[in-house]
Chains A and B, each alone.
Chain A
Amino acid sequence: MARFLLRRVGLALVTLLLLSMIIFLMANVLPGDVGRRILGPFADPRAVAALNHQLGVDRPLVIQYLSWLGGAVHGDFGRSLSFRAPVSDLLSRALVNSLKLAAVAFVMVVPLGILGGIVASLNRDKFLDRLISVTSLSGIAMPEFVTGIVLILLFGITLRIFPITATAPAGSGPLTQIYYLIMPSLPLVFVLFGYIARITRAGMNEALDADYTRTAYLKGLSRGMVIRRHVLRNALLPTVAVVATQTGYLIGGLVIIEFIFNYQGIGQLIFTAAQQKDFPLLQAGVLVVGIVYLTATLIADVLYSLLNPRIRYGGAE
């Protein structure tokens, strides 16, 4: 197990290194130099050169990359060009916000999705199954900005149950913050419910049809016992993997939701950085999202192997 973990972490680090190279190259292969892009086409060439030197972008690419990487390892991503503040400060604040939103959505959608999948499977081909199928498909099909805006109109403006912004007033307690985050996370719940419910249903159906389930029934166990003791732990394995990969999406891919609900998350920050040609911020932001994805899949792998003895204890000896 220790070896397995070590190998997985090692692999994740290599992936991260490759990612950092790709991000760095993408930001640097664009035509023109950085100083010119910042100062505009009519700026004095001397000013451009001076700025380039000041930013260090007149050095060879490899040196630039290594110095950027060296800083990144210590948490120093340089200064943001547009916000005129350390990138790490901006990012960590945005990341915390994103994590809060993701956590609220996660806590709502995971139990709901798994429950939906289980209920659907236990009522296979009956009314409840069809209902859950239709609901989850419509959830996947509807874009977040549509559901987001409908929610704002309905609950924020007409019914006035929830605030229309996601950001709680400064200094609010955790409960208030959660209250502000409920409505923004609902569109995410709609999207993810379908994925989780469907994969859970498929896993359940497979486990219910398995020979070992027949063995359990023929031992004289009741249906409830068979499902709790024999079906669930095998059925939920694929769900674990799906849930974890969707965590990455919950943190990195929420530009629109953050925009609609005016929330300072990492998605919006990266979007702004791209608009403003703020390369230090853009590079660091994408890298952080990459780290989040990798961590999520790493956790999924570890969880999966913890639940699956065939991976934990290797093949037949």
Chain B
Amino acid sequence: MSQTQAAVPPAVMAAERVLEVEDLHLSFRVRGSDRQAIHGVSFSIGRNESFGLVGESGCGKSTIALCAVRYLPRNARITEGSVRVAGRDLVTMSMPELRRMRSSAVSMVYQNAGAALNPSIRIGEQVAEVFRVGGASGSEATDRARGMLEKVRISDPGRVMHRFPHQLSGGMQQRVIIAMALAPNPQLLILDEPTTALDATVEAEVLDLIAALRREYGTTLLFISHNLGVVTRMCERVGVLYAGQLVEEGDTGTVFDDPRHPYTVGLLRCVPKWGSRKDAGLLDSIPGLPPPVGATTDHCVYADRCALAIDKCRQEYPPLFDVGPGHTSRCFRHEVARDLPRASAASLPGTGQVVASNGHALIELGNVSKTFRQEGQQIQGLVDVSLRIAPGEALGLVGESGSGKSTLAKVLLGLLEPDSGAQLEYQGKNLPVKVGGRGQEQIRAIQIVFQNPGASLNRRHSIRRIVGRAVTKLLGLIGRQREQRLIELARSVRLDRSVLDSRPEQLSGGLKQRVAIARAFAGDPRVVVCDEPTSALDVSVQAAILNLLVDLQRSKGVSYLFISHDLGVVRYLADRIAVLYLGRLLEVGDAETVFGGPHHPYTEALLSAAPILHGEPKTRIRLEGEVPSAANPPSGCVFHTRCPRFLGDICVNQEPPLAESEPGHLIRCHIPIDELRRLQRVGQPPAAQESPEGPAAAKA
């Protein structure tokens, strides 16, 4: 990591640690009492090193990041310890000194780039301001701002500088933030979930950019993420946080391949391994919940959830054990951590292929188009989409944001009326396009689980009322029968009966999502639309919800239309995959066929962009630029402007048909499947990385 050390005179050696966090204690003052959130965290980052901080929500990741710039919430207080950047303690520093540090030595990139830019100041002015703080004159600052925007590969910086934040896409906004952060050439760059809000393809681009700039500038990184795959890609060392304590630390490869803390082991097992499928067994999950902020323990903080815990763990506070070179674990049982027993059964009883894709379809969508009208423009949300869902089948729907995934889901639910000419069928019978025109049986059969259970459940109603209403509405049950059905439902989604009497705000995110699933299953549906059902949840909770969905699919024979941006999750759960781009189907087929390849060049690019925790690093294919506007889609093949395997004029002039290139596998591409197979098997990167029109970075 720090090979430069040898060349540096010994006197500077002491300062070679760019960030040193030592015995950091921090508490929040809530209603008059102090609640400790960070319990003696220590770690340091050497020059040019990239350090990842991982952990689930509420473990204190972002709080530590904010300590490293000393920008804390009004009720937070560092009670003990020090945070030194380039050898200088931020905790005791005076305000003017702190300002100098912020303007020169340490910068930050945030999760929500859109909110981090001032909505009423032009981009150019916001970037130039960083240089002006550093003492540059007006015109010099503007010139340097332009140069900085070029550095982050914004192709038309002059134009972007005159824009306001809301006129840029999410990816562009994050580039601007990165430009501002790197402008003073800081020694330490803190990245707090910098790509969590972005599409996978954009995320991959931004991560590449960060990696490239880091090499160029020699910046030290503190990288915070809940996504272990992203951390694997970006960081040499990693620290695992749990309940405000650093429980394990070491080289990224070592920690993820040979974890020595049961929490790390559990966390890693929750993520579907790349290529793993539900047929191979359920995901493991972590039982219980993390302790609330402010809870203090004099023993191991993880003991309550740990299957390996012995009496000692419940009595003594574990020190940091050296478990290898530069690898530490705060666990008495670090030697056997890998043998942590599974928390959930490896497989379900009576498993096996449920899917019978032969025979009649349960749902048949034919020629579904949806045109939105906005300010005189016609925007094609969906173009001639035809899909079928077999009984008991999980159809995964993937594509970048704006590809029409949710539009298709709403059409199926009857919430959005498609253009005329669309044919919807349920069990071979016509399905009216409006939910109001559907019969009770049809409404009961098609239900939905939303992305954000917090927002989709009425805060003022009890769980009994929320689920009970669905039981009454869909099944017409009242009184004792209703109560019986409620208890049955609660049992099937593994909810304790006592939960029925609570309100949504009293439940954790995972429990709320179980309630939402119970609600959807109230009337014994045949198809459940799952719109990003786990993307708002932590990985340990995500695993439990995915297991539940698999279990319900098996036991009730229900079908899913499963929408997710996480290809690992889709691959785990879906039997068939449909890939959407600009409202058009580009590829449909069995999950393993689509993922195994040969695949459509767009699917190939999506797979290449996915951050993968386990498995071989693949050839990188990057999509340049952004999804074109649906109001003005490209001619010919809509993907040709970004296609890494672009052929030539035929792609520009002629839209390829969605053709069955092998049995059950449809691809919309001019390249013959054998040619795709040859190109993709060799794994050679495409000859021309750039689209014919050059990187379309700035949106028109």
Name A's B-contacting residues (CB within 8 A). Answer: 210-212, 214-222, 229-230, 233-234, 307-310, 313, 315-317
Contact = CB atoms under 8 A, between A and B. Distances in A.
Contact of A313 (B69, B110, B167): B167
A232 to B, nearest CB: 10
Contacts of A234: 118-120
B608 to A, nearest CB: 27
A230 B108 CA distance: 18
Given A220-B100, A317-B699, A215 B169 contact: no
Contacts of B700: 317
B133 interface: yes
A242 to B, nearest CB: 18
Nearest to A307: B120
Nearest to B99: A220
Given A215-B180, A229-B129, A317-B699, 12 more contacts: A210-B115, A211-B110, A211-B115, A215-B110, A217-B71, A220-B99, A220-B101, A221-B133, A234-B119, A310-B166, A317-B167, A317-B629
B129 A316 contact: no
B164 interface: yes
B130 interface: yes
B120 A219 contact: no
Given A218-B69, A218-B71, A316-B168, A309 B119 contact: yes
Q: Ordered nearest first, which 5 A-B pairs have the shortest CB separation?
A: A220-B103, A211-B115, A220-B102, A212-B118, A309-B164
A234 B115 CA distance: 13
A313 B167 CA distance: 8
B310 interface: no
B121 A230 contact: yes
B102 A217 contact: yes
Contacts of B100: 220
Interface of B: 69, 71, 99-104, 107-108, 110, 112, 115-121, 129-130, 133, 164, 166-169, 177, 180, 184, 629, 699-700
A219 B112 CA distance: 17
Contacts of B110: 211, 214-215
A210 B699 CA distance: 26
A99 B631 CA distance: 49
22 contacts: A211-B115, A212-B115, A212-B116, A212-B117, A214-B71, A215-B180, A216-B118, A218-B71, A218-B108, A219-B103, A219-B130, A220-B100, A220-B102, A221-B103, A230-B121, A233-B120, A234-B119, A308-B120, A310-B166, A313-B164, A313-B166, A317-B167
A219 B164 CA distance: 19
B102 A219 contact: yes
Contact of B116 (A211, A316, A317): A211
A216 B108 CA distance: 11
A215 B111 CA distance: 12
Nearest to A214: B71
Contacts of A308: 119-120
A313 B69 CA distance: 34
Contacts of B629: 317
Nearest to A213: B118
Nearest to A222: B99
A214 B168 CA distance: 20
A12 B156 CA distance: 41
Contacts of B117: 212, 215
Contacts of B101: 220
A274 to B, nearest CB: 45
Main secondary structure of the interface of A (DSSP, over half): helix
Contacts of B104: 220
A218 B102 contact: yes
B526 to A, nearest CB: 38
* Residue among B118, B121, B177, B700 with max Cβ neighbours from chain A (10 Å): B118
A310 B119 contact: yes
Contacts of B130: 219
B647 to A, nearest CB: 29
A307 B108 CA distance: 28
A52 B184 CA distance: 83
Contacts of B166: 309-310, 313, 315-316
Nearest to B102: A220
Nearest to B96: A222
Contacts of A309: 119-120, 164, 166
Contacts of A313: 164, 166-167
B72 to A, nearest CB: 11
A218 B107 contact: yes
A214 B116 contact: yes
Contacts of B169: 316
A219 B115 contact: no
A211 B112 contact: yes
A215 B116 contact: yes
Nearest to A216: B118
A84 B110 CA distance: 72
Given A307-B120, A313-B164, A317-B699, A219 B133 contact: yes
A123 to B, nearest CB: 13
Contacts of A233: 120-121
A316 B130 CA distance: 25
A310 B164 contact: yes
Contacts of A214: 71, 110, 116
A266 to B, nearest CB: 37
Contacts of A316: 166-169, 699
A238 B210 CA distance: 38
Nearest to A125: B74
Contacts of A219: 102-103, 129-130, 133, 180
A67 B116 CA distance: 58
A33 to B, nearest CB: 51
Contacts of A230: 118, 121
A48 B102 CA distance: 85
B79 to A, nearest CB: 22
Contacts of B184: 220
A90 to B, nearest CB: 45
Nearest to B699: A317
Contacts of B164: 309-310, 313
Nearest to A223: B95
* Residue among A212, A220, A229, A313 with max Cβ neighbours from chain B (10 Å): A220
A214 B107 CA distance: 12
A214 B100 CA distance: 16
Nearest to A230: B118
A316 B163 CA distance: 11
B224 to A, nearest CB: 15
B50 to A, nearest CB: 20
Nearest to A310: B166
Given A310-B164, A313-B167, A317-B700, A220 B116 contact: no
Contacts of A307: 120
* Residue among A212, A219, A309, A315 with max Cβ neighbours from chain B (10 Å): A219
A233 B177 CA distance: 21
B531 to A, nearest CB: 22
A315 to B, nearest CB: 7
B69 A215 contact: no
B26 to A, nearest CB: 18
A315 B133 CA distance: 31
B604 to A, nearest CB: 28
Nearest to A233: B120
Contacts of A315: 166
B545 to A, nearest CB: 29
Contact of A212 (B69, B119, B167): B119
Contacts of B180: 215, 219
Contacts of B99: 220-222
Contacts of B699: 316-317
A255 B637 CA distance: 70
Contacts of B121: 229-230, 233
Contacts of A217: 71, 102
A214 B699 CA distance: 27
Nearest to A210: B115
Nearest to B105: A220
A195 to B, nearest CB: 23
A301 to B, nearest CB: 17
